[in-house]
Structure 1
Amino acid sequence: MTKTDKNKRSIFVRMDKLATIGLGIISFILGIGLWWFATYVGSTNLPSPIDVVIRCFELAGNGQLFVDIFASMRRVLIGFLLGVSIAVPIGFLMGWYRLARGLIEPWIQFFRVIPPLAIIPLAIVTMGIDETPKIFVIFLAAFLSSVVATFQGVVNVDRTYINAARVLGASDWVIFRSVVVPASTPFILVGFRIGLGSAWATVVAAELIAAQSGLGFRMQQAQLYYDLPTIFVSLVAIGILGLIMDRLVGRADEYLTRWQEKGTA
């Protein structure tokens, strides 16, 4: 590829990113407009965007919003990091060794069909009402998503690459490190993104049942007093935090899989 071709490709990439950002801004404006329209024309009891913004400043002013965000973020990050740190090696083990797959996969599939939310009552009864059961159910949600994605990534590695590496005299460790890990990385990162969504859904449900702080706890308290603006503030905060974390994983995906040719429509 010549220098001119590289420059043209760089320009097209930047234009594509700008177009994506522009579409995102337009989508955001349209969404807010539809929300505003629904509150003033429809027969719903939804609070208007301006009501939610005012309530957000009130909660931020007394520090309550930041306390809830910190509590939820702490639970999500601890549970998620614990889940993926254990899921990745187990997923590799299942994908690489048939014996490990036969012993572990049935249990993974068994727990995978049980919603983590169904574990919350059992976790609270057995572990108490402090942070342990909340972090445990988040860990379980992130673990199950990531371990399945890692396993699928390993078993879907093209055998041609592995056979070619063996022909060239590569050992199993070299093949695993230089072929299997890079080829399965896109699957792993998809599992991370799914795990993040599951972690946020789980922490909100856990905070609804037993918590003294957190965005889910705040929504439950607001429900008792029919405080819809506060509920919306918590929902928006969860959405923004989840979006930021998802974008960070997406950036990591772009960097770690930059060798992979990706098509766009």
Structure 2
Amino acid sequence: MQQDEKVPIWSRVPSGVWVLISAACAIALWLAASAQLPAVFAPPQAVWEALISKAESGILLQHVWASLSRVLIGFGLAFVASIPVAFLMAWYDPFRHVVEPWIQFIRNIPPLAYVFLLIAWLGIGQQSKIAVIFIAAFLVMVVTIFQGVKGVDMTLIKAARVLGARQRDIFFKVTIPASTPFILVAARLGLSTSLTTLMASEIVGGDRGIGMMIQQASGYYEMDVVLLGIIMLGVIGICFEKIVRYLERRFTGWQETVQQ
């Protein structure tokens, strides 16, 4: 009984209640900001009305689908390409010595710096936007996966060799399973980077996309639509986060992890 009394009362509050409390605090801050700076922060009611209006006209679905398709295609291609490149870098030093300097060099360049080069090459259509997202997500994921592969416990590899495992068996039965958590972390970072880069690719050209919707609304000073676009990006990002967390629990449940 004494141990139960020492447990903080807030630790007994269900997680769903904390979500409601957090949402209530966010709405309260939003109302306060809209009251103090009405020209910048549209009130929740105005944003809700903008959501209904855009949804009924069908334009919101077009913007969301355009952005989602770009993110998913660019991220998917980057994810597929980053895994073999990262493993080759970790297992073959000559390949790493040639490729790693290029990766580190391009990784430090903001996507907005080369988006104009890609637009001049591929035009302002879908291809240039996907290419920008691909480059940014690939660089983040390949570095993360490479670090995970290099960090595989050598004790596991030595134990497998002692038991007579071949190099192929070590790769598929030791290295890949041990690197799976880092691959999923890379996926999470890649999705976040893809959403960030999406804005850089959409604001410089095109007629569809959440970034383009935000830019056009800001030009007409429609701050309710601007806030709507920002919230939509946040919602999409949270959905991606939930999906990756589910995959982490599904594929790395055998590991001891600290649930946050």
TM-score under structure 2 length normalisation: 0.92
Residue identity in the other structure for 1:84:
F
- Residue aligned with 1:173, SS: helix
User: Is 1:190 paired with 2:185?
Assistant: yes
CA separation of 1:161 and 1:128: change in aligned 2, threshold 3 A: same
Q: Which residue pairs with 1:161 in the alignment?
A: 156
**Aligned to 2:147, which of 146, 152, 156?**
152
Residue identity (%): 41
What is the correspondence of 1:49-198 to structure 2 with a 5 Å cutoff?
Answer: 49-198=44-193
The 3-state SS of whatever aligns with 1:209 is coil
Verify: 1:238 aligned to 2:233, yes or no.
yes
* Pair 1:94–1:67, CA change in 2 (3 A): same
Could you tell me which residue of structure 1 aligns to residue 6 of structure 2?
none
Q: Name which of structure 1's ranges 203-212 and 68-77 shifts more when overlaid on structure 2.
A: 203-212
The 3 A distance-change label for structure 1 pair 185 and 229 is same
Question: How far is 1:204 from its partner?
Answer: 1.4
Give me the whole-angstrom Cα distance separating, in 1, the residues matched to 2:211 and 2:224: 14
CA displacement 1:145-167 (0-9 Å, x = unmatched)? 11011100100001001000100
Whether the 8 Å contact between 1:215 and 1:234 is mirrored in structure 2 is yes
- SS of equivalent to 2:203: helix
Deviates more, 1:18-27 or 1:118-127: 18-27
* Cα deviation, residue 264, structure 1: 5.0
Structure 2 residue aligned with 1:19, among 3, 14, 18? 14
Report deviation, 1:44.
4.6
Note the 1:204-215 alignment, pairs <5 A: 204-215=199-210
CA RMSD, Structure 1 to Structure 2 (Å): 1.6
Once the two structures are superposed, what CA deviation does each residue of 1:194-244 show, in whole Å capped at 9, x if it has no partner? 111111111112111011111111111111110000111111111101110
* Alpha-carbon distance between aligned partners in 1 of 2:34 and 2:52, rounded to the nearest angstrom: 20
| Of 229-238 and 20-29, the range deviating more from structure 2 | 20-29
Q: Indicate the residue corresponding to 1:201 in structure 2.
A: 196
Which residue pairs with 1:10 in the alignment? none
Q: Bigger CA drift: 43-52 or 143-152?
A: 43-52
**Whole-angstrom distance in 2 between the partners of 1:257 and 1:72:** 30
What's the CA shift for 1:24? 2.4
- The separation in 2 between residues aligned to 1:19 and 1:92, in whole angstroms, is 42
Q: Does 1:36 align with 2:31?
A: yes
Query: In the comparison of the two structures, how many residue pairs are matched?
Result: 249
- Work out whether residues 145 and 192 of structure 1, in 8 Å CA contact, stay in contact via their aligned partners in 2: no
Gaps of 5+ in 2: 1-10
3-state SS of the aligned residue for 1:169? Answer: coil
Asked if the contact 2:111/2:200 (under 8 Å) is kept, the reply is no
Q: Give distance in 1, aligned partners of 2:248 and 2:20.
A: 23
CA distance in 1, matches of 2:85, 2:15: 36
For 1:168 and 1:77, the matched residues in 2 are separated by 42
| Structure 1: distance between partners of 2:81 and 2:194 | 15
Paired position in structure 2 for 1:253: 248
In the alignment, the residues of structure 1 paired with residue 173 and residue 15 of structure 2 have an alpha-carbon distance, to the nearest angstrom, of: 33
Contact 1:83 1:143 in 2 (8 A): yes
Matches of 2:52 and 2:118, distance apart in 1: 35
Q: CA deviation at 1:25?
A: 2.6
